[in-house]
Amino acid sequence: MSCPTSISCPYTTDDSHPIHLHLVRFQILDRRRFEPFLYQATGQVRYTGPVTPPAPEEAGWKDTVRAEPKMVTRIIVRFAGYTGRYVWHCHVLEHEDNEMMRPYDVIAAP
């Protein structure tokens, strides 16, 4: 269970959102522009731009990442010591106040 896991997050809104993952640290791999209307209609990701590495100030371990509009943000996370439910949420105040927590489950590797 201590293997790193890559997570890709397509973001379709027009605003940047600070996304926070509870109980874990991660590193930002890259970002890449994609076609949001195709993704919303079909769930298919079609990239429309080159891979963009994280900015120098984004190096190192994080618990919050800036999700840019109309971009896929990829992070790598090491889950160690606990299988079960984790949560992530946006740090935009209105989203936090409305209890917008998104759960995800971590399961043991086979």
Question: CA-based diameter of the chain, in Å?
Answer: 39
Q: Which CATH code for domain 4-106?
A: 2.60.40.420
Residues forming a β-bridge with 96: none
Which tens digit of pLDDT belongs to each residue from 55-84?
A: 999 999 999 999 888 999 999 998 887 889
Q: Specify the pairing of strand 84-90 against strand 17-21.
A: antiparallel
Give residue 74's Cα distance to chain centre. 6
Instruction: Tell me the domain boundaries of the chain.
Output: 4-106
Which tens digit of pLDDT belongs to each residue from 15-61?
A: 888 999 999 999 999 999 999 999 889 989 999 999 999 999 999 99
| pTM of the entire predicted model | 0.83
**Whole-angstrom Cα distance, residue 28 to residue 58?**
7
Helix or strand (DSSP H, E) at 5: strand 4-11
